[in-house]
Amino acid sequence: MKKELVSETLRVKKIKRSDVERMYLLFSEYYDNHTLQTFEHDLFEKDHVILLRDKKNNELQGFSTLLRVPLKKLGKKVIGVYSGDTVVRKDYWGSPVLGITFLKYLWKLKVKSPGTPVYWFLISKGYKTYLLMAKNFSIYYPRYDQETPSEYKRLMDEFYSSKFKENYESETGLITFEGHACALKHNVSDITSDLLTEPRIAFFQQQNPKWADGQELTCIAKMTFWMPFKYALKKTFKVSTK
C-alpha cells in the first residue's frame, strides 16, 4: 500500500517537544557528525517549519525548516527564504507533498507583496536537494546550461557571506566546514555512474566534489507568481500521458 503524507506549517516556537525529539531521531537516521544541541540551535533560529506526517497514523516522517532573510537588490527590498535542515524518511521519497507545501509558502509571500521579488536560498550537500530546486524552478542558479547572472551572484554573496562568514567561498560558491562536518551517511544518497548521465547531477558532482564530506553548494531560485500554475499544469500533463 502506498504511503501518503500530509503537511503542517507552523512557527518554530510552537513545535511540541515530542516533535523536536522525533525530528532529531529522523535527522540522525540520515546524517553523521551532529549533536542534539547543534540541531536545536539550528532549528530555533528559524521562523517556520514544515512538518510531514503519515496520513494514516499521524506519525512524523519528515520536516523542513525555513528562515526569512532580509535583503536588498539594487537598493530595493526583496524577500528571501532560506531552507535549513530537511529530512524525509526513505519510505516516503518521491512524495510531492513537501514540494507543494513549500511552493505554497513562497507563493503566499509573493501574493502578499506582488511587486517584491521572492528568492529561495538553499545549501545542498546531496544531489536530491539540488534536483528538488532544479526540477521545480525555471529560474535557479548555479546550473549547467547558464552562467549565474551578476545580480544573483551579488544576492548570494550578501546572504551566504553574512551567515557563514569565512566558511563561504564566493569564487566556488561552496561552504566548507573545518573538522568533521555534518554529512550524509554512507549509501543514503550516493551518486552512481548511471546517475551521472543526468546533466544536472553531473553538474552538482562537478561543482561540489566533496559533498560526501559535508561540503555545501550554495544555490538561489526565484519564485514567480505563475509558478504554482505551471507546476499544476506539468503534473496534469504527466498524468494524462501515462
**Would you state the pLDDT for residue 75?**
73
Percent of the chain exceeding pLDDT 90 equals: 64
The pLDDT of 215-226, averaged and rounded, is: 90
Q: What is the pLDDT of residues 171-205, one digit of tens each?
A: 999 999 876 677 777 777 789 899 999 999 999 99
| Collapsed DSSP state (helix, strand, coil) of residue 73 | strand
- The CATH classification number of 5-240 equals 3.40.630.30
**Would you state the pLDDT for residue 182?**
77
- Tell how strand 118-124 and strand 76-88 pair up: parallel
pTM value is 0.87
The pLDDT of 117-131, averaged and rounded, is: 92
203 vs 74, more confident: 203
Q: What is the pLDDT of residues 142-156, one digit of tens each?
A: 999 999 999 999 999
Measured distance CA(14)–CA(37) in Å, rounded:
18
189 vs 41, more confident: 41
Residues 6+ apart with CB under 8 A from 11: 47, 48, 49
**Would you state the pLDDT for residue 237?**
40
Percent of the chain exceeding pLDDT 70 equals: 90
Where residue 96 falls among pLDDT bands split at 50, 70, 90? confident
- Considering only CA atoms, which of 155, 132, 166, 129 is closest in space to residue 220? 155
Cα–chain-centroid distance for residue 63?
11
